[in-house]
Chain A
Amino acid sequence: AQSVTQLGSHVSVSEGALVLLRCNYSSSVPPYLFWYVQYPNQGLQLLLKYTSAATLVKGINGFEAEFKKSETSFHLTKPSAHMSDAAEYFCAVSPNNFNKFYFGSGTKLNVKP
């Protein structure tokens, strides 16, 4: 069975500060992991994905995530937050046929000026 836990339903950072959003997963098979962003009244947009290649994955808008199998984690980071990063972020896991995605409960990122 697969599941995702996102620690912290709300995270607040100052503009220019480091962004760290936490995601831990459980999976009975080698997982494929994803981060999505959702802006108000919009669907989900893929930020980045881990599909068993490099463990450090770079995505759009300066975000990156590192797959750590020993810690079952896939935390999302960005060195310097921008006001436009304020949104809700979802971590997701999928088995290797991508027929079903399991999402975490989301983390709302607030960026203070």
Chain B
Amino acid sequence: DAGVTQSPTHLIKTRGQQVTLRCSPKSGHDTVSWYQQALGQGPQFIFQYYEEEERQRGNFPDRFSGHQFPNYSSELNVNALLLGDSALYLCASSLEWTGSSYNEQFFGPGTRLTVL
């Protein structure tokens, strides 16, 4: 089992550009969450996808959007990049919570985005 995989590993963009980050969940997982981890800070929740729908969203502007595909993989898109968008972007996958027990959230290694 490859676990959660993310691509690319590193990315350099300039202000105003657009970027797409990709995530493949752990085998069997149907729920994908995205987090932004700025340098020296803890991860901040961006949004969560389940059944190809955005289910929850954190305090991020509309420039941040996402998508989940039928195979449960997901993309994070960021438009009109700002210097402050430079961060490690983490993807996490889990099984949909059924209400009976907690299903662990597994994290990928992240994509390091640098905006110049």
Chain A partners chain B:
yes
Which residue numbers of A lie inside 8 Å of B, CB to CB? Answer: 4, 6, 9, 32, 36, 41-46, 49, 51, 90, 92, 97-106
Tell me, in angstroms, the Cα distance from A101 to B35 when the chains sit together: 9
Q: Is the CB of A101 within 8 A of B33?
A: yes
A-B pairs with CB below 8 Å: how many? Answer: 60
Nearest B residue to A44 by beta-carbon distance? B107
> Inside 8 A of A99's CB, which chain B residues have their CB?
48, 55-56, 97
Mark contacts of B54-86 with chain A using CB atoms, 8 A cut-off: 1 yes-contact digit, 0 otherwise.
011010000000000000000000000000000
Q: Please report whether the interface of chain A is mostly helix, strand, loop or mixed according to DSSP.
A: loop
Tell me, in angstroms, the Cα distance from A4 to B42 when the chains sit together: 10
Nearest A residue to B44 by beta-carbon distance? A103
Q: Is the CB of A43 within 8 A of B110?
A: yes
Nearest A residue to B56 by beta-carbon distance? A99
> Inside 8 A of A51's CB, which chain B residues have their CB?
101-102
User: Which of B44, B45, B58, B103 has the most chain A CB atoms inside 10 A of its CB?
Assistant: B45
Q: Is the CB of A106 within 8 A of B42?
A: yes
Mark contacts of B32-56 with chain A using CB atoms, 8 A cut-off: 1 yes-contact digit, 0 otherwise.
0101000011111100100000011
Nearest B residue to A4 by beta-carbon distance? B42
A-B pairs, top 9 by smallest CB distance, nearest first, are A103-B42, A43-B107, A44-B107, A99-B56, A43-B109, A103-B43, A105-B42, A51-B102, A98-B97
> Inside 8 A of B109's CB, which chain A residues have their CB?
41-43
Q: Is the CB of A105 within 8 A of B108?
A: no
